[in-house]
Amino acid sequence: MSDLRLDATQLDRYSRHVIMDEIGPEGQKRLLDGSVLVVGAGGLGSPAIQYLAAAGIGRLGIVDDDAVERSNLQRQIVHGDGDVGRPKVESAADYVAALNPDVDVETHEHRLAPENVDELVADYDVVLDASDNFATRYLLNDHCVLTETPLSHGAIYRFEGQVTTFTNDRSDGADSTADRPCYRCLFPEAPEPGTVPDCATTGVLGVLPGTVGCIQATEVVKYLLEKGELLEGRLLMYDAMDMTFETVEMRSNPACPVCGDDPAIDSVDDVSYEGTCSLTAD
């Protein structure tokens, strides 16, 4: 832990954190010393980026290879009308710079791929998956399990969302995985391409990703603070139409190909992240 002293401006900016017994100056320094990689600067990434930056996460990485479109603005709140056509990472970085100068933003204008995932993830404490496709979700899951990197997962569909947290901590040995499932324990393979429509086809309630992305950011902040109960082993499902939250217990799958008793995936090179994101044929 670095010097716990906060300057006068920081004491003012983070005063509502500092006065809380659960956070205080030490907790705020944890956040300022922390680093988070947000994969996706769209619907889920926007509120996550906004609140992580406001909370004082000291180093924030943003991965996205897309440009801002006007149709994004109904839900992707770190971008404005004047940003249409700009890379999303640039627009998001400008938003963070205007919000909190304490935050160092590192932009990665790439599509996450097996060839670059190790380099992109390696230097961050936590990864927040705000992607909108199965290939990225499975790639992040597999890599984070193999490297024991904490991962926040979120997904949305029309009026519904889901969130969970995978700490991927195997430090207690093999028996410790019983309550520490991964994404593949829940969904061993992705659905066949074309069977699950995307937001451009079915639409999405504009405020929905705000709720889900904020919950993801909350989980990340709690993880860095080492406070509270995370959603590890639990899938939180949100229905905006009924305004209901349901939590479903998840268990590790002993046959999981990446975190099971006899894993078949030793490297992301073992998987074809096209189609169903299944093992590469021998």
pLDDT of residue 201: 81
pLDDT of residue 191: 87
pLDDT of residue 151: 98
Stretch (H or E) spanning 35: strand 35-39
DSSP 221: H
In the sheet that 234-239 helps form, which strands lie side by side, from edge to edge?
A: 104-108, 59-63, 35-39, 126-129, 151-157, 160-166, 234-239, 244-249
Tokens coding 177: 């995985």
**Phi, psi at 128, each rounded to 5°:** -115, 115
CATH 1.10.1240.10, applies to 18-270: no
CA atoms within 13 A on the CB side of 13: 18
Which is catalytic among the residues 144, 182, 199, 277?
199
Considering just the CA atoms, what is the radius of gyration of the chain in Å? Answer: 19
Q: What sections of the chain are H helices per DSSP?
A: 8-13, 15-18, 24-33, 45-55, 88-99, 117-121, 134-147, 183-186, 199-202, 208-225
* C-beta of residue 79 within 8 angstroms of C-beta of residue 73: yes
Tokens coding 214: 């904020």
Q: What is the pTM of this model?
A: 0.94
* C-beta of residue 154 within 8 angstroms of C-beta of residue 161: yes
pLDDT of residue 176: 47
pLDDT of residue 4: 67
The yes-or-no answer on residue 199 being catalytic is yes
pLDDT of residue 178: 54
- pLDDT tens by residue, the chain, 282 residues: 445 689 999 999 999 999 999 999 999 999 999 999 999 999 999 999 999 999 999 999 999 999 999 999 999 999 999 999 999 999 999 999 999 999 999 999 999 999 999 999 999 999 999 999 999 999 999 999 999 999 999 999 999 999 999 999 877 654 444 578 999 999 999 988 877 777 778 899 999 999 999 999 999 999 999 999 999 999 999 999 999 999 999 999 999 999 999 999 999 999 999 888 988 754
- Residue ranges per structural domain of the chain: 18-270
pLDDT of residue 282: 45
